[in-house]
Amino acid sequence: MLLTNISQLYQVASEGELYKSGLGMQDASLLEDAYLLVENGTITAMGHMNSLSADAWPQAQRIDCSGRIVMPGFVDSHTHLVFPKTREQEYVYRIQGISYEEIARRGGGILNSAKAAQEIPESQLLEETIGRAEEILKLGTTTVEIKSGYGLTYESELKLLRVANELKKHVPLNIKTTFLGAHAIPTSWKGNRKGYIDLVCDKMLPKIVEEGLADFIDVFCDEGFFTVEETEYILRKGQEYGLPGKIHANELAFSGGVQVGVKCGAYSVDHLERSGDAEIAALQGSDTVPCLLPSVPYFLGIDYGPARDMIAAGLPVALATDYNPGSSPGGSMSFVMSLACTKMKMLPEEALVASTLNGAWALRMSDTVGSLEVGKQADLLITKPLASLARIPYSFSSNLIDRVVIRGKEV
Ligand code: NIG
Ligand code: FE
């Protein structure tokens, strides 16, 4: 495959950078009037059109990209793509003024999804998940992380992770999976938190690792969910089993989640709507990625995370959708970029870096995906004709992604 006459080729990284941080995120490694060659699923050459001879690679499938942008496929590093049903009734409750926390206390929220997840047959869950995966592919996501966490029983958590892994056979997405048994304390364990945590750590975790069902471990470290001490305990157990942490932190309160994530060497701490100087200071000098999920504050009507302060502090901010039925029922990375720009004042280039390279770094995959460089996997997007990158966040309800290529194959 030879892409020619690319108006704007956003490589995102051009010197093997595994992430970009701080104001460095404003440089999305733009090459104008470019070509790009893909062989056997890998990028093997690229450069200016004037260095491409007319008879080069005559056997390649040529795609004329005049007037278009070519950029890396989106890396959505935080989703709950495997879930049983939508929860629009809770959405209506929130419109009427009942908060997310109050709905959760009344047995809605995560526990509502967990009940449905326990009841749904695995085959149906897979079918519904395939539908959502096909939807996000069309929106330009080429790599996705998928969490369990709506099971909350031994059987059900395994079921969700089996579906997430089975999905790999049905769609060409690059998929990483995360065990989130510690998403909420199920109703039946309300009087015995330690009992449930032991079930997560001593029964579910060993089985999941034995079956190779997860790459990472997650905990919802927030007010009303898991404490800092519980989070550290679970993350350390995960580490013993070889699963690095990627945690939910500081969505609802200044929970200490960011600090404990950094302390335990988590690859990322995600949400961070409730973050200030102490959280940013904890992240500085660490290898933990702050991953912002702006469709959550959009949908729940809460404050956005302090993206500009994080960038000013030199952090490698990532962006993801958090696609889930409770707090973000959508998987559009273009919309996430739009919210990042409009609501958190990130520049379009910063939002692109955060949605590709830095998302890949949050999964420790940026040596292969998240940027367009020679030797990298050919996961790329060809946009509809458009004059500038800013059109993507600007046209917030349009899908401007025309063609999606994963490992060199158009999907
Ligand atoms: O990432 N915050 C915790 N978990 C999910 C939402 C869970 C739900 O409401 O179903 C999230 O926002
Ligand atoms: Fe989440």
Q: What is the DSSP letter of 188?
A: G
**pLDDT value, residue 251:** 97
Which residue type sits at 13?
A
What is the number of the ligand closest to the CA of 109?
A: 1
78: region left, alpha or beta (phi > 0 left; psi from -120 to 50 alpha): beta
pTM of the model: 0.98
Residue 105 pLDDT greater than 90, yes or no: no
270 CA closest ligand 1 atom index: 1
Find the mean pLDDT for residues 16-45.
98
Domains in the chain, CATH or no CATH each:
2-73+371-410 (2.30.40.10), 75-362 (3.20.20.140)
CB-CB neighbours of 278 under 10 Å: 12
pLDDT in tens, 42-80: 999 999 999 999 899 999 999 999 999 999 999 999 999
**pLDDT value, residue 106:** 85
For residue 284, what pLDDT band results from cuts at 50, 70 and 90?
A: very high
CB-CB neighbours of 248 under 10 Å: 30
pLDDT in tens, 4-26: 999 999 999 999 999 999 999 99
Contact by Cβ (8 Å): 344, 305 = yes
Cα 270 to averaged position of ligand 2 atoms, centre (Å): 8
Find the mean pLDDT for residues 346-358.
99
Which protein residue's CA is at the shortest distance from atom 1 of ligand 1?
Answer: 322
Residue 163 pLDDT greater than 90, yes or no: yes
Spell 287-298 as b/e; 16+ CB within 10 A means b: ebbbbbbbbbbb
Q: Closest Cα partner for 221 from 176, 272, 162, 178? A: 272
For residue 320, what pLDDT band results from cuts at 50, 70 and 90?
A: very high
Probe ligand 1: pick from 79, 183, 221, 327, max atoms within 8 Å of CB? 327
Distance CA 340, CA 335 (A): 8
Distance CA 28, CA 11 (A): 7
Residue 202 pLDDT greater than 90, yes or no: yes
For residue 107, what pLDDT band results from cuts at 50, 70 and 90?
A: confident
Residue 407 pLDDT greater than 90, yes or no: yes
For residue 206, what pLDDT band results from cuts at 50, 70 and 90?
A: very high
Distance CA 351, CA 339 (A): 9
Which residue type sits at 361?
W
- Phi then psi for residue 19, to 5 deg, are -165, 165
What is the number of the ligand closest to the CA of 84?
A: 1
The tokens describing 362, both together, are: 């949050």
The tokens describing 2, both together, are: 């030879």
Cα 44 to averaged position of ligand 2 atoms, centre (Å): 36
Contact by Cβ (8 Å): 281, 253 = no
Cα 56 to averaged position of ligand 1 atoms, centre (Å): 51
Q: What percent of the chain has pLDDT over 70?
A: 100
